[in-house]
């Protein structure tokens, strides 16, 4: 666009120069004036089209509120005023000057001077012409009556004597009779009309202008010796000075009359030229104003676009610097500012990424922690909590997060012990950290929590962090270990004296039975039998203790859990209360078939004991695959587990039966855990108890 405008401006300057040159009548381009005028008019139309297009574009930009459009509009108006006002003033003055100058050309005194000069030239020529007429009469008197043979010589002598250009003699028909012209060719005969108008001895004088110059011609008619009419023609060249002056005056007079006739046309002609030149100049100035305005406002528009990008967070914008003025310096400073902002943003992003990475790392650590973690601010509102916290407490933190900690009990009453402990320790400002153990009731029963808390430093905003862990299984394992140790000691301490007691009772019965009377012997027998039976019972209890304390010896093999269940269920085929529903496909696990059968026997026996007093007893055993685990469910429709028994059912000697040691479920739990599985107790929704065994599949 810039090169096109430059080329158009150069072409316009050339066209204007040619138009100015073609305006003069003396110019060689005068005959091509209207062509040059047409080219300039086409150039003017092209400039008007360009200016109109730019103005429409500028109006549309102003209407669309494009940044910099109003500034461009103001600059265009200013440039237009700067160019239009002087241009119109110059055009007005030039038009007045041109009009008055053309009027000054046509003055009466000039025309009178030209007429007087022409009359003066004519008077001079007439004087010379009269002199040629006198010479013609002298020549006529000399040749009148002379023989025809002597005429040429006489004519030549007379011509040389009077300094004439040509002397010729013609008959009435215009035929040449004799002549003398110094050998310059045959003379031209006079016109027939001029010959017919001649009168004898009366001279016909005339001034003629031919190719040889201005000539003075005199014609005289006379009768010769043969009484025939003859015509004497005498030619004399006009004096060069007089001829030249007369010709110049005549040309000036002709040109003056021509200008006088075309005075109005000249005014229109010059006014058109001046108006076209003025319009071209003004339109070029307006086009230049548009170009310069856009050129001046373009860097500001780019800076505005860059500023908007910076406001939107894009600091990568850089603008090329093509100028060394204030705008170029401003662009350089803007680029430097955006570069510094970009570097600061990159640093902030890196720091943010580091913080996010640290935060994600911390969150991943908290998410993988089995312990629950809560962070609270100074107002006791939850700032963060991991998933283990919600799982252990059995609450959804999105529901209680909007409330301070002291109001949690209104939504979740089970959290009352935890809230009281936290508030109690927080009241002591000297206590920076604390730990305690409490019992927490959940839907799965009572759980044992180990709770630790600490104050957060004021630099981080203050608040509290509470960490708690479910140590129910750990406490249970510790109790199991304690019971195992007790079982070992009891088995050792009790079993040793039982055998001597049994042997002593049997020896007493054997030694004294024959020495006592019948009633005494009968009483002795009953007493010794009682001692032997009780000793046997004590031995059975001690054996059960021993078996519980002794770790099961597992021999893992690849087996189908469904097949183990079927083998066990063959022993209960006669019982209509026992139903079986197994997975269609095999459930392959690594296990000890003997120990698994013992587990199933214990569970089914417990179920049978639970439904003894039920009118329509039902025991349902099923298996299914859940993900990568095999699950066995043993469910009955008995009374279910009591609330106080449900949380401690796996502990030794915890039972609701009137008979039994209370070691069955404890042994079941130990065997299942040795198989890397889990056992869960719960009450059925309608009635009865449900025991779930979860064992990993072979593919897992």
Domain coordinates of the chain in residue numbers?
2-105+262-306, 128-247, 369-464, 477-549, 557-696
Q: Is 675 helix (H, G, I), strand (E, B) or coil?
A: coil
On the question of pLDDT at 621 being above 90, the answer is yes
The Cα 236–Cα 215 span in angstroms is 6
Tokens read off for 121: 């030239």
* Cβ(421)–Cβ(436) below 8 Å: yes
pLDDT at residue 367 above 80?
A: no
With left for phi above 0 and alpha for psi between -120 and 50, is residue 185 left, alpha or beta?
left
Say if CB 37 and CB 255 are below 8 A apart. no
- Which residues fall within 8 angstroms of residue 319, CB to CB, at 6 or more apart? 299, 302, 303, 306, 331, 334, 335
CA distances from 44 to 37, 47, 278 (A): 10, 5, 10
Distance CA 275, CA 44 (A): 11
Q: With a threshold of 0.75, does the pTM exceed it? A: no
Q: Which two tokens stand for residue 197?
A: 């108008």
pLDDT digits (tens, 9 = 90+) for 464-488: 888 888 777 676 666 666 666 666 6
Rounded CA gap, 292 and 82, in Å? 13
Q: Torsion angle, CA of 543/544/546/550, rounded to 10 degrees? A: 140
How far is Cα 484 from Cα 481, in angstroms, rounded to an integer? 5
* Statement: residue 236 has pLDDT above 50: yes
Instruction: Please choose, from the candidates 19, 43, 51, the residue with its C-alpha nearest in 3D space to the C-alpha of residue 33.
Output: 19
Cα–Cα distance for residue pair 593/422, rounded to 1 Å? 49
Residue where the block lists tokens 């296990």: 591
Q: Cβ of 111: how many Cβ atoms within 10 Å?
A: 14
Return d(Cα 623, Cα 630) in angstroms, integer: 7
- State which fold the 369-464 domain adopts: Beta-Lactamase (3.30.450)
Residues 6 or more apart in contact with residue 564 via CB below 8 angstroms:
591, 593, 596, 597, 600
- Rounded CA separation 151/221 (Å): 16
CA-closest candidate to residue 223, choices 232, 214, 212, 215: 232
User: SS3 helix, strand, coil % of the chain, rounded to 5?
Assistant: 60, 15, 25
Give the model confidence (pLDDT) of 291-300 as tens digits: 776 666 666 6
Tens digit of each residue's pLDDT (9 = 90 or more) over 517-547: 778 778 877 888 888 777 777 776 666 666 6
* 466: CB partners within 8 A, 6+ apart: 373, 374, 376, 422, 451, 452, 453
In this prediction, residue 27 carries a pLDDT of 45
| CATH of span 128-247 | 3.30.450.20
Spatial contact of 87 and 274, defined as CB atoms under 8 Å apart: no
Task: Return phi, psi of residue 566, to 5°.
Answer: -60, -40
> How many Cα neighbours within 13 Å face the side chain of 683?
16
Task: Report the range of poorest mean pLDDT among 286-300, 558-572, 576-590.
Answer: 286-300
Task: For residue 398, give the nearest of 378, 417, 382, 422 by alpha carbon.
Answer: 382
pLDDT recorded at residue 655: 62
Q: Examine domains 128-247 and 369-464 and report if their fold is the same.
A: yes
pLDDT tens digits for range 675-691? 889 888 888 887 888 89
Say which residue, 97 or 635, is predicted with more confidence. 635
Give percent above pLDDT 90 in the chain.
Answer: 5
Distance CA 556, CA 590 (A): 6
- Residue-wise pLDDT for 261-277, tens only, equals 555 555 566 666 666 67
DSSP classification of residue 697: -
Please give the angle made by the CA atoms of 207, 212 and 215, to the nearest 5 degrees. 20
Measured distance CA(462)–CA(457) in Å, rounded: 5
Q: What is the dihedral of CA 269, 270, 274, 275, to 10 degrees?
A: -40
Q: Give the model confidence (pLDDT) of 298-338 as tens digits.
A: 666 677 767 777 777 776 666 666 666 666 677 777 778 87
Judge contact between 190 and 170, C-beta under 8 A.
yes
Tell me if 72 sits within 8 A of 64, measured CB to CB.
no
User: What is residue 693's predicted lDDT score, i.e. its pLDDT?
Assistant: 92
DSSP 428: -
- On whether the 557-696 domain is CATH 3.40.50.261, my answer is no
Q: What is the pLDDT of residue 29?
A: 44
Rounded CA-CA distance 238/216 in Å is 6
pLDDT at residue 633 is higher than 50: yes
Mean pLDDT of 123-136: 79
In this model, does residue 503 exceed pLDDT 70?
Answer: yes
What is the overall mean pLDDT for the chain? 75
pLDDT tens profile 411-439: 888 888 888 888 888 777 777 788 888 87
| CB atoms near residue 327 (< 10 Å) | 19
In whole angstroms, give the CA distance from residue 591 to residue 482. 27
C-alpha angle 583/589/591, rounded to 5°? 125
Write the CB contacts of 182 (distance below 8 Å, at least 6 apart in sequence): 159
């Amino acid at each position: 666009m810039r090169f096109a405008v430059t080329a158009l401006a150069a072409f316009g300057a050339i066209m204007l120069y040619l138009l100015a040159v073609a305006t003069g009548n003396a110019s060689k381009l005068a005959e091509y004036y209207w062509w040059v005028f047409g080219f300039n008019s086409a150039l003017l139309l092209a400039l008007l089209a360009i200016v109109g297009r730019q103005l429409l574009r500028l109006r549309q930009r102003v209407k669309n509120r494009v940044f910099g459009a109003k500034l461009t509009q103001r600059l265009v108006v200013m440039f237009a005023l700067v160019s239009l006002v002087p241009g119109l003033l110059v055009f007005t003055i030039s038009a007045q000057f041109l009009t008055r100058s053309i009027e000054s050309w046509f003055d009466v005194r000039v025309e009178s001077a030209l007429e007087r000069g022409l009359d003066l030239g004519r008077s001079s020529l007439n004087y010379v012409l009269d002199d040629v007429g006198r010479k013609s009469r002298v020549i006529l008197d000399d040749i009148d009556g002379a023989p025809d043979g002597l005429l040429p010589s006489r004519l030549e002598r007379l011509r040389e004597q009077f300094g004439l250009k040509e002397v010729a003699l013609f008959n009435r028909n215009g035929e040449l009779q004799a002549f003398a012209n110094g050998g310059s060719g045959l003379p031209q005969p006079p016109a027939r009309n001029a010959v017919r108008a001649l009168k004898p001895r009366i001279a016909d004088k005339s001034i003629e202008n031919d190719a040889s110059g201005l000539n003075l011609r005199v014609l005289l008619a006379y009768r010769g010796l043969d009484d025939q009419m003859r015509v004497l023609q005498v030619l004399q060249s006009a004096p060069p000075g007089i001829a030249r002056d007369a010709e110049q005056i005549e040309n000036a007079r002709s040109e003056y009359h021509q200008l006088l006739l075309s005075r109005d046309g000249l005014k229109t002609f010059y006014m058109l030229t001046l108006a076209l030149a003025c319009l071209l100049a003004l339109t070029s100035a307006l086009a230049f104003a548009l170009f310069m305005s856009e050129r001046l406002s373009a860097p500001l528009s780019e800076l505005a676009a860059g500023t908007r990008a910076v406001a939107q967070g894009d600091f990568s914008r850089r603008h090329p610097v093509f100028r060394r003025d204030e705008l170029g310096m401003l662009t350089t400073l803007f680029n430097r500012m955006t570069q510094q902002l970009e570097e600061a943003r990159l640093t902030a992003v890196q720091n943010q990424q580091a913080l996010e990475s640290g935060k994600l790392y911390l969150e991943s650590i908290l998410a993988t922690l089995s312990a629950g973690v809560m962070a609270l601010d100074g107002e006791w509102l939850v700032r963060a909590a991991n998933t283990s916290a919600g799982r252990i407490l059995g609450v959804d933190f999105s529901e209680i997060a909007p409330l301070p900690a002291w109001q949690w009990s209104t939504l979740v009453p089970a959290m009352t012990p935890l809230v009281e402990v936290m508030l109690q320790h927080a009241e002591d400002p000297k206590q920076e950290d604390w730990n305690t153990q409490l019992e927490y009731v959940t839907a799965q029963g009572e759980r044992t929590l180990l709770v630790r808390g600490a104050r957060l430093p004021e630099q981080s905003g203050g608040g509290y962090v509470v960490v708690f862990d479910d140590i129910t299984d750990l406490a249970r394992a510790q109790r199991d270990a304690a019971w195992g140790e007790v079982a070992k000691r009891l088995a050792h301490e009790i079993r040793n004296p039982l055998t001597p007691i049994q042997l002593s009772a049997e020896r007493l019965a054997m030694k004294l039975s024959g020495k006592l009377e019948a009633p005494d012997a009968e009483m002795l027998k009953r007493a010794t039998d009682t001692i032997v039976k009780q000793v046997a019972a004590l031995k059975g209890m001690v054996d059960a203790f021993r078996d519980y304390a002794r770790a099961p010896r597992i021999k893992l093999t690849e087996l189908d859990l469904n097949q183990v269940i079927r083998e066990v269920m063959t022993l209960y085929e006669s019982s209509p209360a026992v139903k079986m529903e197994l997975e269609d496909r095999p459930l392959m696990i690594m296990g000890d078939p003997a120990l698994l059968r013992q587990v199933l026997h214990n569970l089914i026996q417990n179920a049978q004991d639970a439904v003894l007093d039920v009118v329509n007893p039902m025991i349902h055993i099923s298996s299914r695959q859940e993900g990568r685990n095999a699950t066995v469910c043993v469910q009955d429709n008995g009374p279910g587990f009591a609330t106080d028994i449900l949380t401690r059912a796996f502990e030794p000697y915890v039972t609701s039966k009137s008979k039994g040691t209370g070691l069955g479920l404890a042994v079941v739990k130990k065997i299942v855990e040795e198989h890397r599985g889990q056992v869960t107790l719960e009450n059925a929704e309608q009635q009865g108890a449900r025991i779930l065994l979860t064992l990993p599949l072979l593919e897992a």
